[in-house]
Structure 1
Amino acid sequence: MSISAVASLRPVRGQCLRHATTGLLSVQVKSPAATVHLRAVVALRPEQKRHQSTSQTPQDKDSAPGKPQITFRQFAGRALGVSLRNLVVALSPRGIRQSYRESPGVTTLNVLLLLFTFVFSAVAIRAYINTFYNSQFSRYPEPVANTLRRAIYYTNIKPDPELALRYYKKAMEQCAEVGLDPFSDEVLGIRIQVAFWLEKINSHKAAIDVLESVLGDCRKWIDVMEQSVKDGKVDNEGRYVGDAQKAAAVEAASDGKTSKADNAATPAEPSETLWHKRERLLSKAISTSVKLGELYADEHVLNPDKSHTHLVWAVETSLKEFRRRKIEGPKPGEEKWLSPEELGGSMESLGRDYERRSQFQLAIPLFFQALRLCESPCHRAVIMNNLAAAFAQQPLYAAGTMEPSEGLKELLDASMPTTRKECLEAGLNWAQNAYVHAKDVTGDDRTPECDEACAVALCNWGDVAAMLGKTELAKKKYEQCIEMSNTMQFPEGVKQAQQGLARLMSGSLVKA
C-alpha cells in the first residue's frame, strides 16, 4: 500500500502585486483507496513575503516621465569645459612634474610642440590682423572695408583674378553709394591698387588704362581749379567765392559729382582747401605719370615715346611747382611739396629713359640730381653705378644736338667731359665710388640692394678698365664679380661678368 502527499504554498489570489502577509497552504494526500485535500490560510514569515515587482510594464514605460535631452551645443560646451580643465591640470607645475617623472622624453617633446604651436598661432594671428585689419582698411566705411578684404584675399592669399576684379568693382560702387569723394586718397588708392594688381598678373595694358584714367581725372580737376583761380572764383582762403549753393555747383562741375562727405562737413571738421586738394592731386598725378613712364618702357609694352612723354611731364611739373612756390609762396592749406626721395626718383627714372635712348649727356645731370636727393645709402650706390655706365657709354658730343626740353634746360646745365678718355676716367671713378660706398654700409641700413650694387660696381669697374686698356685690372674685377655674385646667388651679375671676361679675352672691347 502506497500513500503520496503534495503540498504547495502561494499568496492569496489577487495579492501578487501588493505586499502579501498571508498565503494559502494546500496539501493533497493520495492513496489507492481515497484522496484527501487539505487547505488552510497561514501567515507568511518575513523571508517568504513577496514585494511589488520593479520591472516596468509597457503601460508604465509610456506613462513614465522622459529623461531631459541634451543638445549638441550643451554637449560640446561640456566637452570643451572638461578638456580645458584637464589641460589646466596637465599644464600646472604639479601636473608637468608628475608627467615628467612618469615619461621624461614624451613630456619634453609635448612641451616643445605646445610652445611651437603657441608661437606659430601668435605669428599667424598677427599676420592676419596686419593684412586684413590694418590702418589702411580703417579709413573706409565698414561695408567698403569688408569688400576690400575679400579683394585682397583673392589678390594675395588665394589668387583668383575674376573674383578679385569683381570685389574691386564692388568696392568702387560702394564708395559711390556712401558718398566718398571720387578724388579722395581712399578712392584713388583703390584704383591705383587695381592697377598694381593688374601689373602683377601681367595684364600691363589694362594696368596702363587704369593709371591713364587716374592721371587724366587728376589733371582735369587741376586744370578746372587753376582756371577758377584765374577767373577770380577762389577767395584768399582757398575756397570758392559765393554762397554754399554756388560753391557746390562749381565743385560738381569740376569733379563730375558732389561728395556727400563734403556736404556733411561741419565747422568743427572743416573740409580741405582747394589749394591743399590741388597739392594732393598734383602729387598723385606726378607719381602716376612716373609709374606710367616705367610701364610704357617695360619689355611687355615697349612704347618708348609715351614713356619719355610721361617722365618728362613728371619732372617738369615738379620743378615748375617748386618755382611757383618759391616766387609766390605757399597758398592756404598747402604743405611741404614733394619729398627729396620722390623728386629724386622721378629724375632717376627720366635719366634711365635718356640712357635707353643713348642720350647720355642728358641722363648724367639727372643722375647727379637724383644722387644729391637720395637718402638711402644702398640706393646711392645704385645711382653711382648708373653714372659709371653713362660715362662709359658717353660718346663725343657736339653742342647743339639732342637739346632737352625748355623745362629741363636749367636743370641739365652741367659741364661734361670734353674727350672720350675723360669720360672713361670719370666712369672708372664712379664705379670705384659705388663699390666702396656699398661695401661700407653696415647695420640696419644695409639691404640686399647693397650686395647687388657691389657686384654691379665690380663689373662696371672691369668694363671701364678694359676700355682704358687695363687688361689685368679688368680681368681681376670680372673674377671678383663672378665670385661675389655666386656667393650671393646673383645670376645676372655672373652673366654680365662672364660676358665681359669673354669680350676681354677675344679683344672685342673698344678702347679709348
Structure 2
Amino acid sequence: MSVAAVASLRPIRGQCLRQARTGLLALTLTSRSATLSIRMTVPLQPIYQRYHSTVKEAEPGNEGDKQTGKKPEKQKLTFRQFWGRALAVSLRNLAFAVSPKGVRQGFRENPILISVILLALIFSAVYGTIQVRAFYKLFYNRQWSRYPEPIATTLRRAVYFTTVSPDPERALKYYKKAMAESKQIGLDPFTDEVVGIRIMVAYWLEKIGNFSQAIEVLEAVRRDCLEWVENMEKQAANGEINEQGRLKAAVPSDSTAPVYSALNDETKPHLKEQELETLWRRRERLLSKAVSISVKLGEIFADEHVLDPDNSHLHLVWSVETTLKEFRRRKEEGPKPGEQSWLTPAEVGSTMESLGRDYERKSQFHLAIPLFFQALHNCESPCHRAVIMNNLSACFAQHPIYSPTAGGNPETESLKDLFASSMPNTRQDCLEAASNWANNAYFHAKDVKGDDRTAECDEACATALCNWGDVAAMQGKADLARKKYEQCVELSNKLGFAQGAKTAQDGLKRLRAATSKS
C-alpha cells in the first residue's frame, strides 16, 4: 500500500497596509482507494510575515551597504539632464509612432484616435507651409529684394508695423529711415523704388487718418516729378538731346537715368532694364506717376475728412487733360526713343471715372455721363463694369433735361444736342435709360462667376436693385419700386451690406409717404 502526502501553507489576506498573521495549512493524503484532505488555521511565524529583505545584497563597489543595511542614494538629475532625457524619450516615441510598425500597431489598438492624430498632423503641416509661404511672400519678395540690404531690412520692419502688428509711430519711423538711407547710399531719387518709398509713406499717413501730411507728401512727389519733366522738355526744345534720347554733352553711361553704384551684384540684374532707360522713357515714367498721384490727390481732397472740392476738381481735370494731351502728342509726333505704351486702358478708364464722379458730386451730369462711358469702354474688371453702369444709371436718373433752344449753353442744352443723336432727349427718355442701365448692372454683376467674382459684384447687385427701385418710383411704378427695394434689403442683409439696406429702407419710407399722400 502506497500513500502520497501534499502540504501547503498560505497567508490569509488581511486589510490594506496590514500584514497577514494567520495562514491556512492544507494537507492532502492520497492512496489508491481513498483521498483525505485536512485544512486548519495556524498562526504564522515571524519569518513568514515580512514582505522583503531588510538587507540588500551589496553591489560591486558598495561593500559598506551590506554592513550598514542602508540603500544607496540615487544620483540626482540636473535640469538639463532631465529635459535632455525627456526629449530623447519623446523623439524615440515619436519616431516609433510615425514608423509603419507604430502606425499599424496604433490602428489595431485605437483606429479612431490615430486617424484624428494623423489628420491633425496633416492640417498642422499644411497650415505651417501656408504661413511660411505667406511670410516669405510678404517680407522677401522681389519688391523688397530690389533694394540694397540696409534699405530692404528697414522696409521689412516698416511693413511689419504696417500690416502684421500695426504701430503708426514705429512704421512711420522706419519709412523715414528708409528714405534717409536711400539718400545716404546715393540712389537716384527718381527711380520707381525711391519714389515708391515716398508713396508708401503717404499711403500709411492716409491709413492712420493723417490726411494733411499725406497730401503734403504726395504733392511733393508730384512737384518733383513735374519739375524734372519740365526741365527735360526744355532740353529737348533747345536741341540738347540726341537721337538716342540722351544728353549730347554727357557720356552715355552717365546719362542713363538711375545711378546704382552702391547696389550689390544680386540687385543689379533686376534693374538692368531700368539702368538703360532713355530720357524720354524717364519722362514717360515720371509723367505717368504724376498723373496717378493727381488722381489720388483728387480722391483725398474729395474725402469727407478733407472736403476741398476745388482742389479735387483741379487735380482730376489736370490728370485727364494731361493724359489726352500725351496721347495727342504721340499721335502727331510719333514715339520717341525708349518710349513705351502710354497708360493702360484700365488706368485711362480709372482717370476718366474719377473725374466723372467729381462732376456727379457737382450735379454736372451732362459732363459726368460721357466720362463714365469712356471709363466703361476701358474697364477690364467685370465687377467694376457693373459699378460704372450703376453710376450711369444714377446720372441719367438725376439729369434735368433743359430746352434745346436755350442758346448753346452747355448747362441748358439736352444730351442729344451735346453728344449724339442716340442720347435721350426728354425726361422720360432719361428715366428709361436709367432703368435700363440699372437692369444691365444687376444682371451683369449677377452673371459673373468663378475667380472673377468679388465682393464688388455683390455690392453692385444690391446697388443696382436700389437704383432700379428709385427709377421705378420716379416713373410712378410703385409696385415695381417696392419689389426692388425689398429685394435690395434682403440681399444687403444677406451680404452684410449695411449701407445698401439703409438706402433701400429709406426708399421704402419715401414710397409709403408718397402713396399715403396720393
TM-score range, shorter chain: 0.7 to 0.9
Contact 2:187 2:259 in 1 (8 A): no
The aligned residue for residue 356 of structure 1 is: 361
Aligned to 1:172: 179
Distance in structure 2 (CA, Å) of the matches to 1:430 and 1:377: 15
Please tell me whether residue 476 in structure 1 is matched to residue 483 in structure 2.
Answer: yes
Q: Is the 8 A contact 2:218 2:297 kept in 1?
A: yes
Q: CA deviation at 1:130?
A: 1.0
Conserved 8 A contact 1:396-1:420: yes
**Corresponding residue SS for 1:507:** helix
Query: Residues 277 and 77 (structure 1 numbering): CA distance in 2 closer, same or farther, change over 3 Å?
Result: farther
Q: Unpaired segments of 5 or more residues in structure 1?
A: 1-52, 57-69, 404-411
Q: 1:445 to 1:510 in 2, by over 3 A?
A: farther
Counterpart CA distance in 1 for 2:445 and 2:86 is 61
* 1:371 equivalenced with 2:380 (yes/no): no
Verify: 1:437 aligned to 2:444, yes or no. Answer: yes
The one-letter code sitting in structure 1 at the alignment partner of 2:437 is W
Bigger mean CA offset, 100-109 vs 285-294? 100-109
Could you tell me which runs of 5 or more consecutive residues in structure 2 were left unpaired when the two chains were aligned: 1-60, 65-77, 413-417
Q: Verify: 1:305 aligned to 2:310, yes or no.
A: yes
2:246 aligned with 1:239: yes
Q: Distance in 1 between matches of 2:87 and 2:229?
A: 62
Partners of 1:501 and 1:507 in 2: how far apart? Answer: 10
Mapped to 1, the partners of 2:282 and 2:79 lie a distance apart of 60
Q: Is 2:418 aligned against 1:418? A: no
Q: CA deviation at 1:423?
A: 1.4
The 1:228–1:55 alpha-carbon spacing in structure 2 relative to 1, beyond 3 Å, is farther
Q: 1:100 to 1:507 in 2, by over 3 A?
A: same
Residue 125 of structure 2 is aligned to residue 118 of structure 1: yes
Separation in 1 of the partners of 2:377 and 2:517?
32
> What residue number does 1:400 align with?
409
Identity score, percent: 60
1:301 Cα offset (Å):
0.3
| 2: CA distance, partners of 1:158 / 1:509 | 55
Match of 2:190? 183
Match runs of 1:155-304 below 5 Å = 155-244=162-251, 260=261, 271-304=276-309
Compared CA separation, residues 236 and 510, structure 1 to 2 (3 A) = farther
Residues 227-272 of structure 1, C-alpha deviations (whole Å, 9 max, x = no match): 1101111111100011439966xx9xxx9x976469x999x97521
2:107 paired with 1:96: no
Deviations 1:156-199 (A, max 9, x none): 11111111111111111111222211110111111111111111
Q: Which amino acid aligns with 1:207?
A: A
CA distance in 2, matches of 1:260, 1:222: 24
Contact 1:466 1:509 (8 Å CA) reproduced: no
323, 341, 363: which is aligned to 1:336? 341
Give the CA deviation at 1:457.
0.9
1: CA distance, partners of 2:517 / 2:307: 29
Q: Give the 3 Å change call, closer, same or farther, for CA 509–164 of structure 1 in structure 2.
A: farther
Equivalent-residue separation in structure 2 for 1:487 and 1:103 (angstroms):
44
Residue 108 of structure 1 and its aligned partner are, at CA, apart by 3.0
Instruction: Return the TM-score normalized by structure 1.
Output: 0.77
Output the CA distance in 1 between the equivalents of 2:494 and 2:338: 52
Residue 509 of structure 1: how far off its partner (Å): 12
Distance 2:241 2:262 in 1: 21
Give the residue type in structure 2 aligned to 1:400. Answer: N
Structure 2: distance between partners of 1:326 and 1:446:
37
Cα distance change, pair 260–336 in 1 and its aligned pair in 2 (3 A)? same
462 and 189 in structure 1: CA distance in 2 versus 1, 3 angstrom threshold: same
| 3-state SS in 1 of match to 2:343 | coil
- For residues 144 and 84 of structure 2, the distance between their equivalents in structure 1, rounded to whole angstroms, comes to 35
The structure 2 residue matched to 1:346, chosen from 348, 351, 361, is 351
| Whole-angstrom distance in 2 between the partners of 1:83 and 1:125 | 26
In structure 2, the residue matched to 1:456 is: 463
| 1:499 aligned onto 2:493 | no
**Which residue, out of 464, 487, 493, partners 2:494?**
487
Instruction: Summarize the Cα distance change of 1:243–1:187 in structure 2 as closer, same or farther, 3 Å threshold.
Output: closer
Deviations 1:285-304 (A, max 9, x none): 11111011000000000000
Q: Summarize the Cα distance change of 1:112–1:328 in structure 2 as closer, same or farther, 3 Å threshold.
A: same
1:101 Cα shift?
3.0
Relative distance call for 1:71 and 1:181 in structure 2 (3 A) is: farther
CA separation of 1:382 and 1:475: change in aligned 2, threshold 3 A: same
Inter-partner Cα distance in structure 2 for 1:371 and 1:488: 25
- Match of 1:330, SS state, is coil
Instruction: Give 1:196's aligned amino acid.
Output: Y
- Residues of 2 paired with 1:79 and 1:180: CA distance? 55
**Offset from partner CA, 1:350-372 (integer Å, 9 cap, x none):** 00000000100000000000011
AA of the residue aligned to 1:228:
Q
- Cα separation, partners in 2 of 1:420 and 1:150, compared to 1, 3 Å: same
Q: Identify the residue that residue 44 of structure 1 maps to in structure 2.
A: none
Q: For residue 160 of structure 1, what is the amino acid of its counterpart?
A: D
TM-score where L is the length of structure 2: 0.77
SS of 2:396's equivalent in the other structure is: helix
- The CA distance in 2 between the partners of 1:209 and 1:242, in whole Å, is 36
Change (3 A) 1:230 1:80: farther
Quote the offset at 1:86 in angstroms: 3.7
CA 1:81–1:235: 2 relative to 1, 3 Å: farther
- Whether the 8 Å CA contact 2:179–2:194 is kept in 1: the answer is yes
Match of 1:324 among 309, 323, 329: 329
Contact 1:241 1:247 in 2 (8 A): no
Structure 1 residue 385 corresponds to structure 2 residue 390: yes
Matched position secondary structure for 1:280? helix
The AA in structure 2 aligned to 1:210 is V
Q: Give the Cα–Cα distance (whole angstroms) in 2 for the partners of residues 246 and 125 of structure 1.
A: 42
